Copies of this chain bind each other. A is one copy, B any other.
């Protein structure tokens, strides 16, 4: 399973029952958390996310609606006597800020906390089955988007067939890599007759907060699912630009230019109570768009 569960789809201030930005990315072996607005730990409870499986947290930038919930979540991990390591990737000053607060409360973490300051674009996490990389966006302060890419997996051997050909198990690794096999008797076994291709690796990109920026297109080209912020309806394009945010149609234009499969939009301005209005506008430019709704898991 590879999916994104939206915990917050609102911008700036909580409103209309909507929360600030936070998303859980479910991969085969880990839960990742992208951004952590205030109340994220409560949303995690609300949507029955297994918080003990969150081992990597990525913070895009230091506007409060993207990180004010981090200190509370990490403190709760300590109160719950978490043991396994936690990795946080974010702007460098975040580390000192958290350490200060732990010191003031005399909190002693029950688990190793590894802080990885984000200093440049590129790969942040190289896990066995996926990578997470980051790219810069254009926002009022330094901000980065994140991309999760599944790695190419090995072909699956149909064991009964491989055994019927008496292929030595020492050659299985070659089979998994897609190679044909020449048996001792000289007979060739075409790989595709005894293996099944691995599922195509999929990818998810999260733009965090950003101006309309065509440079993002290169970064997110061809991803299966793109989450692009769409803080304002398109009529407010000047306001969006002044605040370093995007409109519905700008988000959709990035999706179109990047040739992604599907677009999710979110980070809705608190001034608007109905996300479907945003969805309708974006669909005019990129039909396969959905407004991100809290509590919903979108498959990548």
- Asked whether any CB of chain B lies closer than 8 Å to the CB of A97, the reply is yes
Pairwise interchain contact B13-A69, C-beta atoms closer than 8 A: no
Pairwise interchain contact A71-B72, C-beta atoms closer than 8 A: no
- Asked whether any CB of chain B lies closer than 8 Å to the CB of A15, the reply is yes
Whose C-beta in chain B lies nearest to the C-beta of A106? B141
A13-B79, A45-B14, A79-B12 are contacts. A64–B71 as well, Cβ < 8 Å? yes
Total copies of the chain: 2
A residues 34-71 with Cβ under 8 Å of B?
38-39, 41-42, 45, 62-64, 68-69, 71
**Residues of A in contact, count (CB < 8 Å):** 32
Whole-angstrom distance between the Cβ of A76 and the nearest chain B Cβ: 4
Pairwise interchain contact B15-A64, C-beta atoms closer than 8 A: no
- Asked whether any CB of chain B lies closer than 8 Å to the CB of A242, the reply is no
Pairwise interchain contact A105-B45, C-beta atoms closer than 8 A: no
CA distance A9 to B69 in the complex (A): 19
A residues 1-36 with Cβ under 8 Å of B?
12-15, 19
Report which of B45, B71, B91, B141 forms a contact with A15, defined as CB distance below 8 A: B45
Whole-angstrom distance between the Cβ of A137 and the nearest chain B Cβ: 16
Q: Which residues of B contact A41 (CB under 8 A)?
A: 13-14, 38
Whole-angstrom distance between the Cβ of A107 and the nearest chain B Cβ: 8
Q: Which residues of B contact A69 (CB under 8 A)?
A: 38
Pairwise interchain contact A76-B106, C-beta atoms closer than 8 A: no
Whole-angstrom distance between the Cβ of A296 and the nearest chain B Cβ: 20
Whose C-beta in chain B lies nearest to the C-beta of A12? B79
User: Residues of A with Cβ closer than 8 Å to B?
Assistant: 12-15, 19, 38-39, 41-42, 45, 62-64, 68-69, 71-72, 75-76, 79-80, 91, 93, 97, 100-101, 104-107, 140-141
Known: A64-B71, A93-B104. 4 other contacts (CB 8 A): A13-B41, A14-B45, A38-B72, A64-B101
20 example contacts (A-B, Cβ-Cβ < 8 A) are as follows A13-B76, A14-B76, A19-B42, A38-B39, A38-B41, A38-B68, A39-B42, A62-B101, A62-B105, A63-B105, A64-B71, A64-B72, A64-B101, A68-B68, A68-B71, A68-B75, A93-B100, A97-B97, A97-B101, A104-B141
